[in-house]
Amino acid sequence: MPKQKCERVRDLWSQIDALMMGMNWTREDVNKPQIIIDDVQGDSHPGSYHLDILSEEASIGVYEAGGRPAKFHVTDICDGWAQGHEGMNFILCSRGIIADMVEIHASVIPWDGMLLLSGCDKSTPAHLMAAARMDIPTIHIPGGAMRSGPNNSTSGLAGPLSARKKKGHVDLAEMKNYQLTGCPSCGACQFMGTASTMQCMSEALGMALPGTALMPATMSEIRRMARSAGKQIMYLAEKGITARKILTKANFINAMKVHAAIGGSTNAFIHMPAIAHEVGIEIDPKEFDAIGQEIKYLTNIQPSGKYTAELFWFAGGVPMVQHLLRDQLDLDVMTVTGRPLGESLEILEKDGFFDRCHGYLKSYSIPLNDVIRTPEQSTKTGSIAVLEGNLASEGAVVKYAAVHPDMHQHIGPAMVFDSEEEAQAGIISGKIKPGSVVVIRYEGPKGSGMPEMFMTTDAIVYDETLNGTVAIVTDGRFSGATSGPCIGHVSPEAVDGGPIALVEDHDLIEINIPNRVLQIVGVNGEKKSPQEISEILAQRKENWTLPERPQKRGVLKRYSDSAVSAMKGAYMA
């Protein structure tokens, strides 16, 4: 049993014990190792709705191992509720606020260990950021995956459905059916969006128990997992295995390799550098790109593939991907098992994890290799590229695994909008023509909080005249469910006077994913030399002034005033 860290402060101030006993603690409890359990449970979205159940299971595990748990909560918010209005501006900002609140909770007394329960876009990276800051024994407990909708569908149907509704192409019956089946259970959305990606990144970083990312949220297995984590945190506390002993550069490199293999969300390019920053490690997004060119793309999961997230877990999940990549991973890195990654995977396999998962997959009559391919079967490498050029001197990102090969190289005239709302209205009204490059600016971290552009991308996907021919370039970000030629995180962003602020309608924009290029190559539909473009942009910069922007206040103002570049992690400096 580890010695209690709180003993010294309890001796300093006797009210600490009295306060604990005012919450049904016993005199025996206050002398036990004390574990903080912090979750994001709330009526905020299905990914967090059930976390109180998992928190209770984790508490039981702590009790069974001889500790005393204490529950704390910081409810997160959902991109889905925030679509199409100013609420979206607060989504990325919430990541830092959640991390701050967990840090505050974890600092009130010296805890012996910490369990963090989350499963969605901003809460999972927030919890990993907080774990890195506190550097105490910590285990992240992923909230698991939502069950699949009818016909292998996902909640992501909302995008094209909403776009069609605005054109009067959806009847009440179709809308009712989606509302009743789009989210058939609790858990993170059913595709390899940011929520699913970050659960996988937590496990790949060694911060979650092996095999726990994207467990179906309604299965009893996830409750047993949470209880096991409650027991395991006591072991980490006894051995003094803290978060920073796990969050090493080697583990980040391992996670980036897993990210390439699963076709993870572009938003990981924001979250992983932000997590690494908390432990003093710098991750250049180009590292993601370079690793992606070495790692085979193995999965067949929506939005880039066919199947849903729970089927990914049935196919063996992150451990299966790590098993297939074992010759390219550092298997000596530490994990929350208290053992190296390689040993942890061997124990998992001997325990029958893969046999049990694959048994579930057989219920669907789907071959294992159709969900997770072997490297030998894969013909593609990586999934995301970093583009640079005179339009993005500090870089931009694109998920090329979700882009049709015909659009990997494209030159088209720019149609420029100063907000996503304007762009989406332009698409719905028919203003955008095939072959165009839709430029959406002033949506970066400092501009408006870096909202995602899901409504706009799906408006294009629905329009048969535009789908597959129109690209989007923005200093904002995209949903993990996005497909198509969508280039985000353009840096420097527009409010800083980056080149994206200088683009004008009918400028010719070149996108060249194989050569990693994003640049302006012409004006008024006419190609120009690089020297001419440079001179034109310099002249535009001299005449540029920041347009009047909606005035921010409160937390959004604090975020925008201090946010670093999206390519560095968009965290508050």
569: left (phi over 0), alpha (psi -120 to 50) or beta: left
β-partners of residue 509 are: 412, 520
Find, among 167, 121, 171, 184, the residue nearest to 464 by Cα: 167
3-state class (DSSP) for residue 362 = helix
State the maximum Cα–Cα separation within the chain, in Å, rounded to a whole number. 80
- Please say whether the beta carbons of 202 and 142 come within 8 A: yes
If one counts every other C-beta atom within 10 angstroms of the C-beta of residue 100, the result is 16
β-partners of residue 313 are: none
Peptide bond into 303 cis (omega under 30): yes
CA quadruple 293, 295, 301, 306: dihedral sign: positive
Q: Is 491 part of the annotated catalytic residue set?
A: no
Find, among 353, 340, 146, 381, the residue nearest to 246 by Cα: 340
Q: At what angle do helices 158-166 and 454-462 cross, to 10 degrees?
A: 70
| β-strand pairing of 384-389 with 392-399 | antiparallel
Find, among 99, 133, 103, the residue nearest to 118 by Cα: 99
In the set 479, 491, 560, 565, the catalytic residue is 479
Token pair of 459, please?
């408006």
Find, among 420, 148, 446, 164, the residue nearest to 306 by Cα: 148
Burial readout 108-137 (b: 16 or more C-beta within 10 A, e: otherwise): ebebbbbbbbbbbbbbbbbbbbbbbbbebb
**β strands within 347-485, DSSP E:** 384-389, 392-399, 409-417, 437-440, 471-474
Question: Which residues does the annotation mark as catalytic?
Answer: 479
